């Protein structure tokens, strides 16, 4: 790859930048505020909020700088390849982050819940600790509900979750439709495709929020409802958070498209966000199958 480009041009190495250190200070402040809040120290929220504001300021600054560089033609194919690799491996690291929670789900479903009910060599645990415990999934009756509040019911797969699956899959199609348009330089179709994708993203998150309300208020399914509630909300919660981020990223891409950014042959930011969107889509398929459905 390098061979083709080095003969006639330099790799773009940016000048010194204040944004990374501001990012660090912002995240540090948020962590500090979070830790103080969790320790019930009263100023925690203010520190957290200040860190968040600084973080948002940093996002505008850092991305603004990079967008300006991109629009001024600083990045060629050679730099693009670095960005692509960076985004690709960042998404892979996100996959591994979700893998930890999927691992927890599979381990409890397949191994440890049956063990608690006396499967395998764990008869003694069952006999002496919780002889009445029965392995079941979704697990509504937990071994000992001291400190926990059992759920009455779990969210059915064939209501809102199935609808949300359709919404997210459709949004994957609309973002691809927008991408085709960008490559053919059909700006109108690009903007319409992105608008649809953003709208579907917002719809997904709203329905998910409504479903959370239903789970908490009517079904009694909470973070505190034992291992089913814990894995359910951890997986769908982090997924929902990623959809929210993805929607914000798509919105930024939409705004840039309206301003006339991106060229048919040069639009890394669009592709990075599209990859990210497909990634949250794929995670959702895993969630729909293993959390809601089977």
Instruction: Please state the closest distance from residue 60 (CB atom) to other proteins, in A.
Output: 15
152: exposed, middle or buried (C-beta count within 10 Å: 0-12, 13-18, 19+)?
Answer: exposed
* Whole-angstrom distance, CA of residue 274 vs CA of residue 44: 36
Cβ of residue 292: shortest distance to other proteins, in angstroms? 18
Give the span between the Cα atoms of 90 and 88, in whole angstroms. Answer: 5
Does residue number 282 form part of the binding site for other proteins (CB under 8 A)? no
Q: Which residue number, 164 or 231, has a Cβ lying nearer to other proteins? A: 231
- Contacts (CB under 8 A) with other proteins, residues 94-113: 94-101, 103-104, 107-108, 111-113
CB closer to other proteins, 230 vs 250 = 230
Per CB under 8 A, contacts with other proteins among 219-248 are 222-224, 226-231, 233-234
**How many residues are there in the chain?**
294
Shortest distance in whole angstroms from residue 125 CB to other proteins: 8
Beta bridge partners of residue 263, listed in sequence order: 266
- Sign, CA dihedral 292-211-198-237, equals negative
Nearer to other proteins, 133 or 193 (CB): 133
Residue in 64, 86, 213, 264 binding other proteins, rule: CB under 8 A: 86
How would you classify residue 220: left for phi > 0, otherwise alpha for psi between -120 and 50, otherwise beta?
Answer: left
60 binds other proteins (CB under 8 A): no
For residues 16 and 115, give the distance between their C-alpha atoms in angstroms, rounded to a whole number.
56
CB of 97 to other proteins, least distance (A): 4
34 forms part of the interface with other proteins (CB under 8 A): yes
CB of 151 to other proteins, least distance (A): 11
282 Cα distance to chain centroid: 11
């Amino acid at each position: 790859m390098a061979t083709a480009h080095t003969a006639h041009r330099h790799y773009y190495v940016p000048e010194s930048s204040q944004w990374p250190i501001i990012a660090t200070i912002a995240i540090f402040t948020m962590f500090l505020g979070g830790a103080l809040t969790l320790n019930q120290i009263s100023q925690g929220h203010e520190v957290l909020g200040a860190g968040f504001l600084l973080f948002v300021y940093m996002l505008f600054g850092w991305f603004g700088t990079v967008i300006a560089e991109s629009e001024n033609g600083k990045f060629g194919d050679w730099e693009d390849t670095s960005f692509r690799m960076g985004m690709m491996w960042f998404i892979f690291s996100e996959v591994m982050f979700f893998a930890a929670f999927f691992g927890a789900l599979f381990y409890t479903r397949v191994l440890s819940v049956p063990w608690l009910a006396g499967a395998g060599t764990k008869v003694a645990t069952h006999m002496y600790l919780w002889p009445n415990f029965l392995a079941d999934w979704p697990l509504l009756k937990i071994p000992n509900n001291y400190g926990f509040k059992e759920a009455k019911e779990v969210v059915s797969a064939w209501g809102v979750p199935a609808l949300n699956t359709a919404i997210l899959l459709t949004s994957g199609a609309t973002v691809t439709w927008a991408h085709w348009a960008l490559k053919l330089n059909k700006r109108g179709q690009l903007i319409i495709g992105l608008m649809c994708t953003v709208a579907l993203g917002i719809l997904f998150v709203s329905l998910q929020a409504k479903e959370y309300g239903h789970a908490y208020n009517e079904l009694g399914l909470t973070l505190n409802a034992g291992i089913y509630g814990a894995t359910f909300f951890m997986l769908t919660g982090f997924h929902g958070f990623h959809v929210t981020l993805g929607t914000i990223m798509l919105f930024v891409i939409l705004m840039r498209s309206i301003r006339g950014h991106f060229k048919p042959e040069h639009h890394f930011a669009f592709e990075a966000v599209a990859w990210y969107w497909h990634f949250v889509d794929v995670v959702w398929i895993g969630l729909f199958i293993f959390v809601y459905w089977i």
